[in-house]
Amino acid sequence: MLGSAEAAARERVTSVLREEADEISDRWVQLQLAQPSLDGEVSEAELGEEADALVGALLTGLDLGIPVERVVTSHEEMHRTVSEISLRRARRGVSPTATSLAVLSLKEALLEAVQRRTRDGDDLFRSAVLINRLLDSAGALSFETFVEGREEIISRQSQQLLEVSTPVVRLWRQVLAVPLIGTLDTARTQVVMENVLQAIQEHEALVAIIDITGVPTVDTAVAQHLMHTVNAVRLMGADCVISGIRPPIAQTIAQLGIDLSTILTRATLADALREAVKLTEAAGSDHAPLDGR
């Protein structure tokens, strides 16, 4: 008996979606526009496109006979539509709560449409239960997708910031410099290494200067990161000079017992540049300045 009642509720909801798709979509758009949390981030036209796509996917999923709890997760079109809505809003800075509430507000639009078809309390109750089971999973998926999308955006932005904060500057023909500012950790060292090696290949550089004047402290971990970078530069056939060894840093390195004896170091960037020019001269390279003088 319960199975028959559920089947009837499913058929009722499916019939309403099929016959009143446009009305449900329009009502859902209006409900979303009434939510202050959207704050104009999504236009009415975009909401209309999303509504048409989601209502259509919902109808297709129900028509396929997929169990209600799995329509959102198992039906590819439905899953893709909910995910795209969430990712689009994540990129525009809409909060995950607002996105989930927007998806869940489809419940109200759909239940209003069912209510126009029947006044029977039991039928309305079973339809409401089915709609909740159907769209709660859509709300959960939208929240999950939103969070994953934001994490991806944050990760990409962090990577871009790392790349911007570790520029490789061409000081002289075949002489490059990397001015470092701030903490030097594993992730940033990897970016430094990749940028330097790429620049050495592009400019056929013979010397790379790593300037740590802006690095506040040098501990064992930072020293190891520098050693890895220097070794990688040498494997490319270039020399490496570390500049910016201030008295406090020199004292810290000595106290920690860090051995930088195999690395050419200088106190200032100017000193390092002079040393780089000598190295390029020794290699018989053309070391004229960039303007050709």
**pLDDT (mean) for 64-78:** 82
List % helix, strand, coil for the chain (3-state, nearest 5).
Answer: 70, 10, 25
**What residue has token string 């446009």?**
22
Mean pLDDT score of the chain, rounded to an integer? 80
Q: Where among 117, 144, 161 does a domain terminate? A: 161
| 55-69 tens-digit pLDDT | 898 888 888 888 887
The answer to whether position 196 is within a domain reads yes
Q: What is the pLDDT of residue 190?
A: 78
Residues 132 and 240 in one domain: no
- In this prediction, residues 96-101 reach a mean pLDDT of 76
How confident is the model at residue 158, as a pLDDT?
58
13 with 150, same domain? yes
User: Going by C-beta distance under 8 Å and a sequence separation of 6 or more, which residues neighbour residue 271?
Assistant: 243
| Residue 230 pLDDT greater than 50, yes or no | yes
- Whether 87 has a pLDDT exceeding 70, the answer reads yes
Q: How many Cα atoms occupy the beta-carbon half-sphere of 12 within 13 Å?
A: 27
- Tell me if 111 is assigned to some domain: yes
pLDDT, greater one: 213 or 154: 213
Residue 33 lies in a domain: yes
pLDDT of residue 72: 79
Which of these ranges, 23-27, 144-148, 221-225, 269-273, has the smallest mean pLDDT? Answer: 144-148
* 217 shares a domain with 74: no
Among 22-31, 145-154, 255-264, the least confident range: 145-154
Asked if residue 181 is part of any domain, the answer here is: yes
CATH of the domain at 74: 1.10.490.130
> Domain residues for 112?
4-161
Q: What's 234's domain CATH number?
A: 3.30.750.24
161, 193, 216 — which closes off a domain? 161
**E strand map for 121-238:** 169-172, 175-181, 207-214
Are residues 249 and 126 part of one domain?
A: no
Is 30 buried (19+), middle (13-18) or exposed (0-12) by CB count in 10 A? Answer: middle
Pairing of strands 207-214, 175-181: parallel
Share of the chain above pLDDT 70, in %: 87
Place of tokens 């990397």: 178
Q: Domain tally for the chain?
A: 2
101 and 228 belong to one structural domain? no
CB 99 within 8 A of CB 86: yes
- pLDDT, residue 22, reads 92
pLDDT tens figures, 159-218: 555 555 567 888 888 899 888 877 777 777 777 888 888 889 988 889 999 888 887 777
**152 and 213 assigned to the same domain:** no
Final residue belonging to a domain, choices 100, 128, 161:
161
pLDDT digits (tens, 9 = 90+) for 119-135: 788 888 888 888 888 88
